[in-house]
Amino acid sequence: MELATKAIDWYNDWFGIVSPLPKIDLIAIPDFSMGAMENWGLVTYREVAVLVDEAKSSTRQKSRVALVVAHELAHFWFGDLVTMVGAI
């Protein structure tokens, strides 16, 4: 997803901390009980939360997808990188 690449690049630049992962996989799961969940190196999304039809989806739907993708990727900076050692 181009959006995910742009979000990661933005976070790398904004915070001055480059993601320690060489790649982050994103997967859409049809029956995922959570809306989305970040895991180290893998972000899982409920299918309906990230898949849109470029020709048919509204601007609002596309914005929602952008928000969800950016939110989950932000956890790599606001969670995974700053979690207390004893909390893991």
What pLDDT does 85 receive? 66
Torsion sign over Cα 45, 47, 49, 55: positive
> For residue 29, how many other CB atoms are within 10 A of its CB?
15
Q: How confident is the model at residue 20 (pLDDT cuts 50, 70, 90)?
A: confident
> For residue 24, how many other CB atoms are within 10 A of its CB?
18
Q: How confident is the model at residue 30 (pLDDT cuts 50, 70, 90)?
A: very high
Q: Which of 2, 38, 54, 72 is catalytic?
A: 72
Q: What is the CATH number of the domain that holds 60?
A: 3.30.2010
Number of domains observed in the structure of the chain: 1
pTM over 0.75: yes
Distance CA 29, CA 87 (A): 28
| 72 catalytic residue (yes or no) | yes
Distances (CA, A) of 16 to 3, 12, 27, 34, 77: 20, 6, 27, 30, 11
Each residue's pLDDT tens digit, 48-71: 888 888 899 999 999 999 999 999
Q: Which domain holds residue 33?
A: 2-87
Does residue 87 register a pLDDT over 60?
no
Distance CA 84, CA 6 (A): 28
